[in-house]
Each structure stands twice: as C-alpha cells, then as structure tokens.
Structure 1
C-alpha cells in the first residue's frame, strides 16, 4: 500500500523538480502561465471530470457538511499559534484549509475505495474548489468580499459541471476528449510553476515548510475528530472523510498566493513539504481506517 501511494506522489515531486532545475538556468517569468492556468486549464479540468461522471448531490448532505468543517476549521486553529512561526496568519492558514483534493486526492481516494465511490469523491473535490475560490479569495483580497467570486472561471466551470451531472446531460465524445486534453495541462503546469518559485526559497522558507508539513495533517484530522461522531455517515464515507482530512495543501494555494502577493515563497515551501510529508502520513491513516 505504501508503495502504491508513493507511485502517486512521486510524479508530483518529479515535475516540481523539473521546474526548479529549469528555473536555475532560464529564469522564466511564470506570471502569464499561472494566469492562463487559473483562467483556462483548471476550470476545464473540473468541467471535464463532471462531464463524464453524474453526481446526485442530494445523497451527500453529511459528507458536504464534514468536508466544509475539515476545510474551514483548521484556519481558526492557526489563530492559536501562527505568531510563533513569524508568518502572517493568511500565509499559514490557507494552505492548512484548502487541500490537494484533485491531483492527489482523487486518485488516492479512488485507489482506496473504488470507482463506485467516484461521485462522493467528486463532491469533496468540487466543494473544496468552491470554498477555495470564495472564502479563500475573500481572505486574500478583502476588497473583493462580494459575490464577484461567482465570476471566477473555476466557480463557473464547477456550476456548469454540477448542472451537467444533476441533469444527466451527456456531451459529445469528441467534446469530452477535447476538454480532457486541455484539462490535462493544469496539474503539471501548477507543479512546474511551484518548482520555479522554489528557486528563491531562503532558510525561513524551509523552516515554515517543515512546520506546515506537520500542522496540515494534525489540524485536518483534529477537525474531523471533533465533529465526525455528530454526523451520520455510512461507514465507507466516514473512512473517506478521515483520508480527506489528512490530504496535504493544494498546489492552487501557491498560485493564488503568487497572484495576490501573499508571501508566495513561504506558501510554496508549505505546499511542497506537506505534499512530500504525505508519503509518511497517508499510509498511517490508511492503516487506521482499513
């Protein structure tokens, strides 16, 4: 089991290192690439997933509640100790809140629970993205605390994708294939951009990265433990919640920190260290739930 999880995480590290070493020689400007990724490739990735997997959201009320708790509660916990890390609250809180539910979460959860639970897995994925581009952006940019987040391409793609699933609308195979081709660009480009940013890390970046690698699973699992016994969930969905709570921070945390200039170097270190640290954390959680 541990080796199979390693096979999921190892490619992530490989692409990050590719960006890191390329940047050591070429010094690329990734601002335009990051903008295109957030506006085009990531939304299409979400849309392509939901276009081929119908989801009945009404069956997953408890799962949605637990996913919301696990996403938002760690941000409040960070208020208790962030000053000891010599970092701004938002810099540390957002990576603790918003998890790698896409490129790591989806394959890991499918591997653990099987294809028949893909609808529940997609519910957690889309919930995390909606919260990230509503609550997350509100926190990063106070001037944008309005319903303007609904104009975000990722939110629009999520709503369209959910509508397709609920209404059971099937897109032409050629269109699904085209969406998948564009969506496949998103995750590697995120990881490559993260590696480019790591070239500028200093000692404090490494220290905050290690702190994030420890805090991310601890805060997520603590949040789950406080509420999971109060929410009625089938046994398999309860196990899914525990595994979701242990996921490391999403790569999108870095892209948004870079866009809004929220100490992106430190966020990059947190994201990288926590994703690498998940190689040790996730097998322990799997041992606990299986």
Structure 2
C-alpha cells in the first residue's frame, strides 16, 4: 500500500511541481508567455512528436485499439453530457468542448511517460494527435460551423506527425547526431508545456465556480465511462488499458480557453471550467493511476 502511494506521488509530483512553479513565477513576475507558447507549439512540440514517431519503428496497426478508444473517449464524452447540459440549460458551445478535448499535451504526455515509461511515449503521442485533430476540426466546427480541415496541413504539429509516420513506416533511420538533436529539442516541450499551464491558470476567474466544479467531475467521469464501456471490444494489453484510462481522466485542455477567446464564446466561464478541472485532477488523476497501475 505505502509503496503504491509513493509510486503515484513520484509520478504526479514532477507534473504538478512544474505547473506549480509556473503558477508561482507567473504570480511573481506576470511574464508574457505568448512568444514562449508560440515557440513550443511551432518548434519544440513538433520535434517531440517527430522524434517519438521516429525513435522506434512505428506500427500504427499496433495502436489501432488505443486510437479507437481515444476517439470514443472524446466523442463519447460529448454525447454522454449533451442531454445533461440540455437539461441544466448550460450553453453547449461553452460546456461541451472542455468536456471533450482534454489536456493530452500539457498533462497527458508527461503523465503517461512517468507512469508507464518511455516505451509508451508513442502511445501518448497517438492519443495526443487524435485529440488535437478532433479539436481543430470538430471542436472548431462546434463553435462556428464552418471550419476548413485543410488548414490542419499548415500546422507544424500535423506536418511533424505526417513526416514522422511516413519516415518511420519506410524504416528510415536518422543519423545519431541528428536524432539526438531532435530528441534534445523535443524534450524542451514537456516541462515548458507544464510551466505554461501553471502561468495560464492565473488568468482565469472563479466567478463561475459551480459549472467549473460540475465540469471537473463530469468530464473525467464521462471519459472513464466511455473507456470502460469500450474496453471489452478492444484488444488492449493491460498497460495500454492503463494508458487509455489515464487519457480518459485528464482535465480540460487550456487550449479551450484560447479557442473560446478567439470565438468570443464566454471565455471567462470556459476559463473557470478549465481551471477547476485542472485543480480537480489533483484528486482524480492519482485515483485513476491507482487503478490503472494495478491492471
């Protein structure tokens, strides 16, 4: 029992410590993170995705079950919570996106890395790519009903994913100096994502705390229900099952706030949902890890 507790603390401590340091630094110095975030999304994170796909031969057929599970968690969470949101008369465009599109980048990749090891980094990247693709297609369509999927092809993250998948499928091996350079640049992304998350959380308000608390519980609950309901139909190993459960329990992505600001979709309320969801993950993620690591 005690050993399991220390293991979970060892997994979640680096994640929340990096975010906490970002919160403290942001509170003390109020830095402008826009340039840093731009660098991370256009350089460091794409290098991380590319290196993860190139580091070992990537066989997507080995991850099809996990991919289907990831899609089901994202879409299923929205479908499950749709009638509840209608019954409670909550604005669907405000509430559903944060419930569907979770923190698979800022929190998901580091958590899976620390919990299951570097061998599962490709699995984390697969889920991240799926969540990101759905967010920038279905997620934007939910807000304006006129998104252009072709714009995805201009995103550095998508370019890196496509290039990594193609080269890996062709069994291309990068020279060691180049591979190490890509790895070094990619490794910048994870702590920077967490640090930026901590800084960003300072900008949100507790004004709409009721919907935030409801979302903090409803989002992970809906995701886990979808994952558990689908598990009997997926051919997943115990460790892949654990990865999917952690993905399902992740809090809302901070990107939801940026998108809400862009489309003027009650950004303050969305920010409250995101912040309280991430605070709630301090309880939900350890509980999910406890279960996932015992599989």
TM range (shorter): 0.7 to 0.9
Q: Structure 1 unaligned segments of length 5 or more: list them.
A: none
Structure 1 distance, partners of 2:98, 2:176, is: 36
Structure 1 residue 65 displacement after superposition: 1.4
The aligned counterpart of 1:160 is 163
Is the 8 Å Cα contact of residues 75 and 97 (structure 1) preserved in structure 2?
A: yes
Structure 1 residue 170 displacement after superposition: 1.9
Structure 1 residue 222 displacement after superposition: 1.3
Tell me whether 1:198 sits opposite 2:236 in the alignment: no
Cα deviation, 1:47-83, whole Å, max 9, x if unaligned, reads 2222213220123322221221012211222322336
Match for 1:279 among 277, 282, 288?
282
The aligned counterpart of 2:44 is 41
Count of matched residue pairs: 290
The aligned counterpart of 1:54 is 57
Structure 2 distance, partners of 1:272, 1:9, is: 18
Match for 1:68 among 68, 71, 79?
71
Is the 8 Å Cα contact of residues 5 and 108 (structure 1) preserved in structure 2?
A: no
Cα deviation, 1:113-171, whole Å, max 9, x if unaligned, reads 55555544443333233323333333345442342222222111111122232222222
TM-score, normalized by length of structure 1? 0.81
Match for 1:97 among 80, 100, 103?
100
Structure 2 distance, partners of 1:260, 1:6, is: 38
Q: Structure 2 unaligned segments of length 5 or more: list them.
A: none
Structure 2 distance, partners of 1:44, 1:258, is: 27
Structure 2 distance, partners of 1:116, 1:180, is: 14
Is the 8 Å Cα contact of residues 91 and 263 (structure 1) preserved in structure 2?
A: yes
Structure 2 distance, partners of 1:14, 1:278, is: 14
**Counterpart mapping for 1:235-254 below 5 A:** 235-254=238-257
Distance 1:105 1:85, change over 3 A: same
Bigger mean CA deviation after superposition, 8-17 or 58-67 = 8-17
Is the 8 Å Cα contact of residues 52 and 121 (structure 2) preserved in structure 1?
A: no
Structure 1 residue 44 displacement after superposition: 2.2
